[in-house]
Copies of this chain bind each other. A is one copy, B any other.
Amino acid sequence: MTKENRPRARVARGFRDISADEIRGTRQMLAKIQEVYESYGFEPVEQPFVEYTDALGKFLPDQDRPNAGVFSFQDDDDQWLSLRYDLTAPLARYVAENSQKLPTPYRSYRQGWVFRNEKPGPGRFRQFMQFDADTVGSASPVADAEVCMMAADTLEALGLKRGQYVINVNNRKVIDGVMQSIGLGQNESLARKLTVMRALDKFDRLGELGVSQLLGEGRKDESGDFTPGAGLSKDQIDPLIQLLRFGSAFDALQRGEHLSSSLSFPNPFVHPPATWDMNAYGHAEELERIRVSIAGVNPHNKRYSRSFGFDVLSSIPALFKMNDTLASGVHELAEMQDLFDKAGYGPERILINPSIIRGLEYYTGPVFECELLMETKDEDGRTVRFGSVGGGGRYDDLVARFTGQPVPATGFSIGVSRLYSALKLAGLAQESSTLAPVVVLVMDKERTGDYWRMVQELRKGGIRAEMYAGTAGMKAQMKYADRRGAPLVVIQGGDERLKREVQIKDLRLGAELAGNIASRAEYASQRLAQFSVPEADLVSAVKKALAE
């Protein structure tokens, strides 16, 4: 092959290779998640990476165009195939195809890579791993509550402390009911409702003013770009903003107990904005009640923490004209809150939070978002909360797409790479638990068999060990051991052979000494890091040296 037609070695755009540390760390993390899910009685099941495009349908998260964002290709029988973009759509296909032989409800979990045909960016890849748990066949909010509690237990099993995470819970029916209440009912266009939901979803980032603009006439951002708004009136916007404040205010105050004040989080109670007029909405008493319940959110103060979710829910009728959808959503959330309370999951772990809007078109009831509260830096170097590492909700229509029969379903999905990054940040990723191997050098190619037997003995003694497998000399072999991060090398040249001895060289000690060496005399003392033992003592001597 000539130079001109040689391909260039480069990883494909938006894809990445995964290092040993991340593979090992992720493996341990996944095993712990599995353990919790298994203890809850969830069963593993896996669908293939490729599905018929029509089976995946148009329910692509965060996308409104059918099949946009999906890698697709045509089979030789002309049917269109696609790489899965999540684990939920394939599960819906599986359940529809196998409903006769599955228990009802059917609890299952699965982990796997999914693919998005989207423009890649920093930290944004086209292949990533999800870990999902779903309960199909139960319409009860108990099933929704269960996956939320399981998510909280999982994060604690991974080592996260209370206050480092929160599972936010809202309900799609509350959102829909609220929209209906302000006049955006069934006859309203889906596009306008999506614009409203997307605006609400940005409260965290843009705060009250920005969201109010997006709900109203539109917003010009810092770069001067103009985003058209949903065209709502002030009367429509105000109660929406007030609803959002519930979650965010609670949120900010709670964070304040655990995190530094450097968070640029809009907290109208702690720092009332100039535009804040407590009586503007005519619900002064309501706000006072919220303020009290927020003030009581100290997790050690059971009386107040218990009541927060119900306070949020009971104040909705004060803010909005009730309708069936809204009432149903509030009722479902109240049932979940009741179970959270009885099971001992306070709002410092699972929080009813009306500011949570998940942009997925297919959710039909409760929605969840798992948020990590540890601080990190954003792309611009600002300190921000780590943010979402997963979420989910109820999707009662996904299976019905195939069967025509309504099949209630709810589930929770973890973003595996994001969670791993978070654990690393929190010092909880056990990435370096595997010690690099001891390297036995090959001093005499004719004696490969002898060196091999040393390696075998070390392995039998439970020590990770390898014989140098290349063809280079002593210097290159030492460089190799160094690059491998080997703690020790084992050397047996002709002299040692005659004495039936082996030399053990401690590279960790050598490296440490080298850092402090000022003179040639001192350099000689580096020999301390090298010692001889009888052949027969190889394994015990290596074990002893490794334990030091």
Contacts and interface: CB of A to CB of B under 8 A. Distances in A.
A142 B472 CA distance: 13
A105 B470 contact: yes
Contact of A17 (B11, B47, B52, B484): B47
A465 interface: yes
A77 B6 CA distance: 20
A469 B146 contact: yes
B41 A20 contact: no
A10 B466 contact: no
A505 to B, nearest CB: 17
Interface stretch (A299-307, A451-459, A521-529): A451-459
Contacts of A310: none
Interface string A22-41: 01100000000000001111
Interface in A401-450: 401-404, 434, 436-437, 439, 448-450
Contacts of A47: 11, 17-18
Contacts of A72: 73
A23 B8 contact: no
B71 A7 contact: no
A1 interface: yes
Interface residues of A, number: 100
B138 A471 contact: yes
A459 B9 contact: no
Interface string A322-354: 000000000000000011011100000000000
A23 B10 contact: no
A103 interface: yes
Contacts of A402: 6-9
Interface stretch (A93-101, A268-276, A360-368, A376-384): A93-101
Contact of A23 (B45, B139, B465): B45
Contacts of A437: 40-41
Interface in A360-403: 400-403
B449 A338 contact: yes
B11 A97 contact: yes
Contacts of A63: none
Given A103-B480, A437-B41, A456-B343, A401 B1 contact: yes
A339 B448 contact: yes
A227 interface: no
Contacts of A466: 40-41, 107
Contacts of A16: 48
Interface of A: 1, 3, 6-13, 15-20, 23-24, 38-41, 43-52, 54-55, 57, 71-73, 75-77, 79, 81, 83, 93-94, 96-98, 103-105, 107, 113, 115, 117, 126-127, 135, 137-140, 142-143, 146, 338-339, 341-343, 400-404, 434, 436-437, 439, 448-450, 452-453, 456, 459, 464-472, 476, 480, 483-484
- Sorted nearest first, the 7 A-B pairs with minimum C-beta distance are A342-B449, A41-B466, A9-B96, A41-B437, A15-B48, A9-B402, A103-B483
28 contacts: A1-B401, A3-B404, A8-B55, A9-B402, A10-B52, A12-B50, A12-B75, A13-B75, A16-B48, A17-B48, A18-B46, A19-B45, A38-B464, A39-B459, A40-B466, A41-B484, A49-B115, A76-B117, A83-B83, A103-B484, A104-B472, A135-B469, A138-B471, A140-B469, A142-B469, A146-B467, A339-B449, A343-B449
Given A11-B48, A17-B46, A20-B44, 15 more contacts: A7-B54, A9-B97, A10-B52, A12-B48, A15-B48, A18-B45, A41-B437, A41-B439, A103-B480, A138-B469, A140-B470, A339-B452, A342-B448, A342-B452, A343-B453
